[in-house]
Structure 1
Amino acid sequence: MVSANATSILSTLITANHVLHYHSVLHAYGHISVRNPENASTFFFARTLAPALISSTEDINELNVADASQTDPTRPRSFVERFIHSEIYKRFEDVNSVVHSHSPQVLPYTITDVPLKAVYHLPGFLGDQGVPNFDIAEFYEPGDQQDLLVSNTRLGAALANTFNVNSTTNSFPDPPAVLMRGHGLAVAGETIEQAVFFSIYTQSNAEIQSSAIELEHAFPNTGEGSGLRYLTAQEGIDSWATNKPLIIRPWELWQREVQTVGQGLYVNGLEH
């Protein structure tokens, strides 16, 4: 399934599963994938297994972007929501990694009208317009199992089309996240490391924004200047421009965390 020079990307994918679990973005459910760097028409995705337990190439399948089918149908099955990943790859050619999580910090923003917007510089990539919210109920057809799972190409395409796209390109979404009503969110990245960065700091932003809303409600109408202060559009753009070249810094820390603190749980058989 895997050529020798694909080992590095698969090792990074295994580590990403561990990092996202360690930071409580992924739990027993949720997943991250990566586009095949040697064949853009396929992507690598784990079999149905808790992210913390993924440890070797035996736990990873190669799937087709076209329809999320496995290139080797004899291998153990991947997650039913593989269509989230395949349709985002199909829609955006510059997306090379996708995360789907059920972050409890983010979930309240999927079931309310409160917009999730950047409140500090590290998640400036979220922008000032609010992360779009995908409501799967709008796309059910007769006979669909209404369990909120994106379980076919039609629903996956509807999700991928919910991403906002900036005015200069259709090859990468802006912002790189979509909420999923009553379910969680999907995040896209140009690399695994970027997708992990986006996922962790989207969750962090949601937690901080919720705390700020609680404070604002506890002390309303305190006078001039009261109210939540989100990043402006330009602050979001400039913050991400500053942070983008630096995401290797937290990645190296997160990688070391799961190599040391997580010993006994996180195993990466591809690390040397």
Structure 2
Amino acid sequence: MVNITALLSTLITSNHILHYHNVLDAMGHVSVRNPNTNTTFFIALQLGPAVLSGREDIGEYNIADGSPLTGTVGGYAERYIHSEILKRYPDVNAVVHSHAEDVLPYTVLNVDVEPVYHMAGFLGGTVPNFDIEDTYFEDDPRDLLVNNPRLGAALAQTFGVNETQPTGPAHTTVLQRGHGFVTIAQTVEEVTDFAYYAASNARVQTNALLLKAAMGGGGNVKCLTQQERKDAANMNRWIAFKPWRQWVKEVERSGMYINELGTPPLDS
């Protein structure tokens, strides 16, 4: 049995880390599968990530349909992003949804997100862009929110199927047109790493494109090769705890955040 207090402490700190590094605004969220039931997941209630501080700030919901367990009142309308991904992919245990402004331009331009340095190899060969307009029913409000199981299932399907591991996704990250991005992983620490470096890679790619334009269009933006992406992705997964330890210390020493459940585990 997994220590749920330690798991929720990790979830709280992930929210703090991603807020501290401008990956999550007041609306972003992180979730984690309950490993002791495998049928529910934890996510903050309707709170900004910076003010999440204790057990009472976290809801528990059924993966099957996103419905709250007894005792959970309210929560994010977009929790169906999380429930539908966790339902579709048994190998995924943690999800981040972000509106990071570094990534947003790539959701509305015909410019692919590409891994341009080694810490972003997990982005893989392609990063799909989910356009919710393609999924709307005629009477749906066009607010770009994934706020029901049908829309959540359509977004989850965009992650595809891993050819060598049918219970896993083909992609770790999916853009959302005019909205943000979602990234998924096996642990909270790993998904925090992926979300941070997805935004970081977008900044590097944007700067490279701007520099290219300033040079009159000369020079190439050389992205990682397919083999480099594969090998760097393997590296990304085993090294995730190195930045995690540093990020935990940063948010604790910043004085900006409260984690009533204590310092999360610093080792895998």
Q: TM-score range by the shorter chain?
A: over 0.9
Asked if 1:50 corresponds to 2:43, the answer is no
Match of 1:255 among 248, 251, 258: 248
| 1:10–1:57 Cα contact (<8 Å) kept | yes
Asked if 1:245 corresponds to 2:238, the answer is yes
State the partner residue of 1:86. Answer: 83
Match of 1:193 among 189, 194, 218: 189
Partners of 1:54 and 1:172 in 2: CA distance:
30
Structure 2 CA distance for partners of 1:142 and 1:253, relative to 1, 3 Å: same
Partners of 1:166 and 1:75 in 2: CA distance:
34
Partners of 2:217 and 2:157 in 1: CA distance:
39
Amino acid at match of 1:219: M
Match of 2:227 among 222, 226, 234: 234
Amino acid at match of 2:168: F
Match of 1:266 among 243, 247, 257: 257
State the partner residue of 1:116. Answer: 113
Amino acid at match of 1:75: T
State the partner residue of 2:266. Answer: none
Measure how far apart 1:241 and its partner are: 1.6
State the partner residue of 2:33. Answer: 35
Amino acid at match of 2:260: G
Measure how far apart 1:142 and its partner are: 2.0
State the partner residue of 1:126. Answer: 123
Alpha carbon RMSD of aligned pairs, Å?
1.4
| 2:60–2:72 Cα contact (<8 Å) kept | no
- Aligned to 1:207, what secondary structure does the other structure show? helix
Measure how far apart 1:254 and its partner are: 0.3
Measure how far apart 1:221 and its partner are: 5.0
Asked if 1:206 corresponds to 2:202, the answer is yes
Asked if 1:75 corresponds to 2:72, the answer is yes
Partners of 1:210 and 1:221 in 2: CA distance:
14
- Aligned to 2:134, what secondary structure does the other structure show? helix
- Aligned to 1:32, what secondary structure does the other structure show? strand
| 1:127–1:232 Cα contact (<8 Å) kept | no
- Aligned to 2:3, what secondary structure does the other structure show? helix
How many residues were matched structurally? 263
| 1:127–1:231 Cα contact (<8 Å) kept | no
Measure how far apart 1:135 and its partner are: 0.2
Query: Identity, % of aligned pairs?
Result: 48
Measure how far apart 1:4 and its partner are: 8.7
State the partner residue of 1:144. Answer: 140
State the partner residue of 1:167. Answer: 163
Partners of 1:192 and 1:213 in 2: CA distance:
32
Partners of 2:171 and 2:84 in 1: CA distance:
17
Partners of 1:119 and 1:174 in 2: CA distance:
20
Q: What per-residue deviation string (whole Å, max 9, x for no partner) do you get for residues 54-109 of structure 1?
A: 1110001110001101012x533110000000000011111000000101000001
* Structure 1 segments unaligned to the other structure (5+ residues): none
Partners of 2:2 and 2:118 in 1: CA distance:
39
Partners of 1:47 and 1:107 in 2: CA distance:
24
Measure how far apart 1:165 and its partner are: 3.1
State the partner residue of 2:61. Answer: 63
Q: What per-residue deviation string (whole Å, max 9, x for no partner) do you get for residues 102-138 of structure 1?
A: 010000010011000110000111123x310000000
Partners of 1:5 and 1:211 in 2: CA distance:
43
Partners of 1:65 and 1:105 in 2: CA distance:
30
Q: What per-residue deviation string (whole Å, max 9, x for no partner) do you get for residues 136-174 of structure 1?
A: 000000221110000100000000001133321132223
Partners of 1:218 and 1:23 in 2: CA distance:
28
| 1:62–1:70 Cα contact (<8 Å) kept | yes
Amino acid at match of 1:173: P
